[in-house]
Amino acid sequence: MAVFLSYIFLGLSLAAPIGPVNAAQLDRGIKHGFLHAWLVGVGAILADAIYMLIVYMGLVTFIDAPIVQTFLWVFGCFVLVYSGVESILTAGKIHIQNQRHYEPRYKAFISGFIMSITNPLSILFWLGIYGSLLAKTVESSTKSELIVYSSAIFLGLLLWDITMATVSSSFRKLLTSKLLVIISVVSGLCLIGFGIYFGFQGLNLLLT
């Protein structure tokens, strides 16, 4: 049980640091409520599952190629800057009333998925931490145990997703319209900041 809990904590540790997905969840929770914020996290978790599968199948050579890394940095830059600008432009539409500007739920899911699948930092985690963890676990554990441990990681990711969705949607009920707009703008600026960082890394990789 202690080992299982440690893997849950590992999943929480992966999701908890402030990053593009958390900023997007905060923005969606404020503007559209719990479900949209939660779906952003679910999309990100699906991307994590794909990377976990890639590592498990030993296909790390492909995503470790410089041209693929460059594409992910640049495309991630575009997605984050676009999302950040959209967040700032729509910040003025936030109101305390229960009526919310409608956004298709699938858009929140796709947003979280793209942000995570194009995040090279996620790749570094799955290649580095999970890759070494996989190598070590395979030596001392059965495949069924490996599945249980991997599931524990995703349980940790899901717990953080629910927590962020709950907190962000609760902000809407506790704060004034002006503060909600400020938070939305700050979230947008964070996304743009991450996007600029991604773009810089992609350009740097392209020129080296």
Number of domains in the chain: 1
10 Å CB burial of residue 156 (0-12, 13-18, 19+) is buried
Section 172-176 average pLDDT: 68
**pLDDT tens digits, 20-51:** 787 788 888 877 888 888 999 899 889 888 88
How far is Cα 24 from Cα 115, in angstroms, rounded to an integer?
Answer: 9
Is pLDDT of 132 > 80? no
Is pLDDT of 124 > 80? no
Is pLDDT of 116 > 80? yes
* Model pTM score: 0.70
Per the structure, the complete domain to which residue 66 belongs is given by 2-207
- Find, among 39, 34, 38, the residue nearest to 107 by Cα: 39
Section 128-148 average pLDDT: 65
* pLDDT score of 43: 92
* pLDDT score of 95: 52
